[in-house]
Amino acid sequence: MTHYEKIIITNIDLDAYNIDSSNLSELEKINIVFELFKKEYIHNFNRRKDIKKEFASWLQGLPSLLTVPFYNSEILTDALLAGFNLPNEDTEDVFLEMYWLNLSNAFFTLKENL
């Protein structure tokens, strides 16, 4: 499991929706998140856009059911602990710039492969 996939899996919280997730598989949790994302975020103005970009945008709004690390310092610390090589500010900036889309891609990889 990749760094980004771990972030997705460990930060799913369905309690705000009164969904008992204790007996749900990871795939079931992912599917519930996806259905709630579509219900709450996808509307006529963004329906035809790239779903992965829309999911990344939704994540940046810090939805309560999938609140991932969002402070740059926390994101970078987690990345360094996971073994990413970020030797300078430029590489950190690129990492941060791609963070949300990488999370989105990881979500859809999980959705397709669990």
- 30-82 pLDDT, tens digit per residue, is 999 999 999 988 887 766 678 999 999 999 999 999 999 999 999 999 999 99
Average pLDDT over residues 6-22: 93
- Print the domain residue range for 99: 3-113
Q: Closest Cα partner for 100 from 56, 62, 50?
A: 56
pLDDT for the residue 44: 75
pTM over 0.85: yes
Least confident of 9-13, 18-22, 72-76, 94-98: 18-22
> How many domains does the chain fold into?
1
C-alpha span between 81 and 53 (Å, rounded): 26
